Amino acid sequence: MAAFSVFRQSSCRFRCFFANSAISLKNVGNNSTIIKDFVREMGTHKRTLVITPSRFQWKKFKDSFHFYTMLGVIPLGSIIFLTNIFVGPAELAEIPEGYEPKHWEYYDHPIKRFFSRYIYKTEQEHYEKYLHWICAVDEMKQMKLIEARVRDLMAERQDYKGWYYQPVTGKYHRIVREDEERIMKDYLGQN
Protein backbone atom coordinates (compact mmCIF):
# COMPACT_ATOMS: atom_id res chain seq x y z
CA MET A 1 0.00 0.00 0.00
CA ALA A 2 2.93 2.33 0.57
CA ALA A 3 3.81 2.17 -3.12
CA PHE A 4 0.33 3.25 -4.15
CA SER A 5 0.39 6.18 -1.71
CA VAL A 6 3.65 7.38 -3.30
CA PHE A 7 2.05 7.30 -6.75
CA ARG A 8 -0.95 9.23 -5.47
CA GLN A 9 1.24 11.91 -3.88
CA SER A 10 3.44 12.30 -6.93
CA SER A 11 0.51 12.53 -9.29
CA CYS A 12 -0.84 15.54 -7.39
CA ARG A 13 2.16 17.69 -8.20
CA PHE A 14 4.31 18.07 -11.25
CA ARG A 15 7.43 16.01 -10.70
CA CYS A 16 9.97 14.75 -13.13
CA PHE A 17 12.59 12.08 -12.77
CA PHE A 18 15.40 13.82 -14.58
CA ALA A 19 18.07 15.33 -12.38
CA ASN A 20 20.17 18.44 -12.88
CA SER A 21 17.93 20.28 -15.33
CA ALA A 22 18.49 23.99 -15.02
CA ILE A 23 14.91 25.20 -15.21
CA SER A 24 13.30 27.75 -12.90
CA LEU A 25 10.24 29.96 -12.59
CA LYS A 26 10.87 33.32 -14.29
CA ASN A 27 8.71 36.35 -14.85
CA VAL A 28 9.81 38.34 -17.84
CA GLY A 29 7.55 41.36 -18.32
CA ASN A 30 4.11 40.28 -19.42
CA ASN A 31 5.39 36.87 -20.47
CA SER A 32 5.61 34.51 -17.54
CA THR A 33 7.36 31.25 -18.26
CA ILE A 34 7.04 28.33 -15.93
CA ILE A 35 10.26 26.46 -15.69
CA LYS A 36 10.91 24.08 -12.85
CA ASP A 37 14.03 22.29 -11.59
CA PHE A 38 13.57 18.61 -12.14
CA VAL A 39 14.73 16.74 -9.05
CA ARG A 40 13.69 13.30 -7.94
CA GLU A 41 12.01 13.79 -4.62
CA MET A 42 11.08 10.63 -2.82
CA GLY A 43 7.63 11.12 -1.55
CA THR A 44 7.13 14.51 0.08
CA HIS A 45 10.62 15.14 1.49
CA LYS A 46 13.66 16.43 -0.29
CA ARG A 47 15.82 13.34 0.21
CA THR A 48 18.05 12.43 -2.68
CA LEU A 49 19.54 9.07 -3.50
CA VAL A 50 23.33 9.26 -3.45
CA ILE A 51 24.84 6.85 -5.94
CA THR A 52 27.93 5.11 -4.60
CA PRO A 53 30.01 2.27 -6.00
CA SER A 54 28.95 -1.18 -4.89
CA ARG A 55 30.94 -2.92 -2.16
CA PHE A 56 29.45 -6.32 -2.94
CA GLN A 57 32.63 -7.80 -4.45
CA TRP A 58 34.78 -6.55 -1.58
CA LYS A 59 32.41 -7.98 1.02
CA LYS A 60 32.12 -11.27 -0.85
CA PHE A 61 35.92 -11.56 -1.10
CA LYS A 62 36.29 -10.73 2.57
CA ASP A 63 33.68 -13.30 3.60
CA SER A 64 35.19 -16.02 1.39
CA PHE A 65 38.70 -15.24 2.62
CA HIS A 66 37.66 -15.46 6.25
CA PHE A 67 35.65 -18.62 5.65
CA TYR A 68 38.39 -20.55 3.85
CA THR A 69 41.08 -19.25 6.18
CA MET A 70 39.13 -20.41 9.20
CA LEU A 71 38.29 -23.67 7.43
CA GLY A 72 42.02 -24.45 7.36
CA VAL A 73 43.33 -22.54 10.37
CA ILE A 74 40.99 -23.90 13.02
CA PRO A 75 41.45 -27.64 12.33
CA LEU A 76 45.19 -27.39 11.65
CA GLY A 77 45.74 -25.11 14.61
CA SER A 78 43.87 -27.47 16.92
CA ILE A 79 45.80 -30.51 15.60
CA ILE A 80 49.14 -28.77 16.11
CA PHE A 81 48.14 -27.51 19.55
CA LEU A 82 46.89 -30.92 20.75
CA THR A 83 49.93 -32.70 19.30
CA ASN A 84 52.30 -30.37 21.12
CA ILE A 85 50.36 -30.69 24.40
CA PHE A 86 49.67 -34.43 24.51
CA VAL A 87 52.48 -36.00 22.46
CA GLY A 88 55.34 -33.51 22.56
CA PRO A 89 58.79 -33.84 21.05
CA ALA A 90 60.68 -37.10 21.13
CA GLU A 91 63.49 -37.71 23.61
CA LEU A 92 66.83 -39.30 22.84
CA ALA A 93 67.35 -42.81 24.12
CA GLU A 94 69.89 -45.59 23.69
CA ILE A 95 69.41 -47.76 20.62
CA PRO A 96 69.21 -51.47 21.46
CA GLU A 97 71.76 -53.83 19.96
CA GLY A 98 70.87 -55.11 16.50
CA TYR A 99 68.03 -52.59 15.99
CA GLU A 100 68.22 -50.30 13.00
CA PRO A 101 65.95 -47.23 13.38
CA LYS A 102 63.44 -46.47 10.66
CA HIS A 103 63.94 -43.33 8.61
CA TRP A 104 61.11 -41.43 10.33
CA GLU A 105 62.47 -42.13 13.82
CA TYR A 106 65.27 -39.61 13.32
CA TYR A 107 62.91 -36.62 13.58
CA ASP A 108 62.04 -35.17 16.97
CA HIS A 109 58.61 -33.61 16.35
CA PRO A 110 55.62 -35.95 15.87
CA ILE A 111 54.23 -34.00 12.92
CA LYS A 112 57.60 -34.20 11.12
CA ARG A 113 57.66 -37.93 11.85
CA PHE A 114 54.16 -38.32 10.40
CA PHE A 115 55.05 -36.46 7.20
CA SER A 116 58.31 -38.36 6.85
CA ARG A 117 56.63 -41.71 7.32
CA TYR A 118 53.45 -41.32 5.23
CA ILE A 119 53.95 -38.43 2.78
CA TYR A 120 57.59 -37.74 1.89
CA LYS A 121 59.92 -40.11 0.09
CA THR A 122 62.93 -41.50 1.93
CA GLU A 123 66.47 -40.43 1.16
CA GLN A 124 67.12 -43.91 -0.24
CA GLU A 125 64.22 -43.58 -2.68
CA HIS A 126 65.48 -40.16 -3.81
CA TYR A 127 68.96 -41.62 -4.32
CA GLU A 128 67.68 -44.61 -6.29
CA LYS A 129 65.50 -42.39 -8.49
CA TYR A 130 68.53 -40.22 -9.19
CA LEU A 131 70.62 -43.28 -10.07
CA HIS A 132 67.89 -44.51 -12.42
CA TRP A 133 67.83 -41.12 -14.12
CA ILE A 134 71.61 -41.18 -14.54
CA CYS A 135 71.40 -44.71 -16.01
CA ALA A 136 68.65 -43.70 -18.47
CA VAL A 137 70.60 -40.63 -19.61
CA ASP A 138 73.75 -42.73 -20.05
CA GLU A 139 71.86 -45.32 -22.14
CA MET A 140 70.44 -42.58 -24.38
CA LYS A 141 73.93 -41.13 -24.80
CA GLN A 142 75.36 -44.54 -25.75
CA MET A 143 72.56 -45.14 -28.28
CA LYS A 144 73.17 -41.75 -29.91
CA LEU A 145 76.90 -42.48 -30.16
CA ILE A 146 76.22 -45.89 -31.77
CA GLU A 147 73.75 -44.36 -34.26
CA ALA A 148 76.24 -41.65 -35.19
CA ARG A 149 79.00 -44.27 -35.68
CA VAL A 150 76.71 -46.42 -37.89
CA ARG A 151 75.77 -43.43 -40.06
CA ASP A 152 79.41 -42.41 -40.43
CA LEU A 153 80.44 -45.94 -41.50
CA MET A 154 77.52 -46.19 -43.95
CA ALA A 155 78.46 -42.85 -45.50
CA GLU A 156 82.15 -43.79 -45.63
CA ARG A 157 81.86 -47.28 -47.18
CA GLN A 158 78.60 -46.91 -49.12
CA ASP A 159 78.29 -50.69 -49.37
CA TYR A 160 75.30 -51.43 -47.19
CA LYS A 161 71.64 -50.49 -47.21
CA GLY A 162 70.53 -48.04 -44.58
CA TRP A 163 69.72 -49.44 -41.19
CA TYR A 164 66.25 -47.97 -41.65
CA TYR A 165 65.75 -49.76 -45.02
CA GLN A 166 62.85 -52.20 -45.17
CA PRO A 167 63.28 -54.71 -48.00
CA VAL A 168 60.37 -55.24 -50.35
CA THR A 169 59.44 -58.82 -51.12
CA GLY A 170 59.10 -59.90 -54.76
CA LYS A 171 56.67 -62.66 -53.92
CA TYR A 172 53.57 -60.80 -55.07
CA HIS A 173 55.28 -59.49 -58.20
CA ARG A 174 56.22 -63.05 -59.22
CA ILE A 175 52.64 -64.25 -58.62
CA VAL A 176 51.22 -61.46 -60.77
CA ARG A 177 53.77 -62.14 -63.55
CA GLU A 178 52.99 -65.89 -63.55
CA ASP A 179 49.26 -65.13 -63.79
CA GLU A 180 49.85 -62.80 -66.74
CA GLU A 181 51.99 -65.41 -68.54
CA ARG A 182 49.36 -68.13 -68.03
CA ILE A 183 46.60 -65.85 -69.27
CA MET A 184 48.65 -64.88 -72.33
CA LYS A 185 49.39 -68.56 -73.13
CA ASP A 186 45.72 -69.45 -72.83
CA TYR A 187 44.73 -66.49 -74.96
CA LEU A 188 47.35 -67.09 -77.60
CA GLY A 189 46.83 -70.84 -77.59
CA GLN A 190 43.11 -70.47 -78.36
CA ASN A 191 43.65 -68.09 -81.27
Coil, strand or helix: which one is 21?
strand
User: CA-CA distance, 24 to 66, in Å (whole number)?
Assistant: 53
H helix or E strand, kind and range, residue 150: helix 123-157
Consecutive 10-residue runs of the chain (191 residues): their mean pLDDT? 49 43 46 54 68 92 95 94 92 90 92 94 95 98 94 80 72 90 86 56
So what's the pLDDT on residue 158?
75
Rounded to whole angstroms, how far apart are CA atoms 40 and 47?
A: 8
CA distance linking residue 110 with residue 166, whole number of Å: 64
* pLDDT given for residue 59 in this prediction: 96
CA dist 82 and 86 (Å) reads: 6
162 vs 159: CA distance, rounded Å: 9
Task: For residues 170 and 172, give the distance between their C-alpha atoms in angstroms, rounded to a whole number.
Answer: 6
Q: Which pLDDT belongs to residue 20? A: 41
Selection from 37, 12, 34, 13 nearest residue 25 by Cα: 34
pLDDT at 125: 94
Instruction: Name 43's Cβ contacts closer than 8 Å, sequence gap at least 6.
Output: 6, 9
Report the C-alpha gap between 35 and 27 in whole angstroms.
Answer: 10
0.75 surpassed by pTM:
no
What phi, psi does 33 have (nearest 5°)? -110, 135
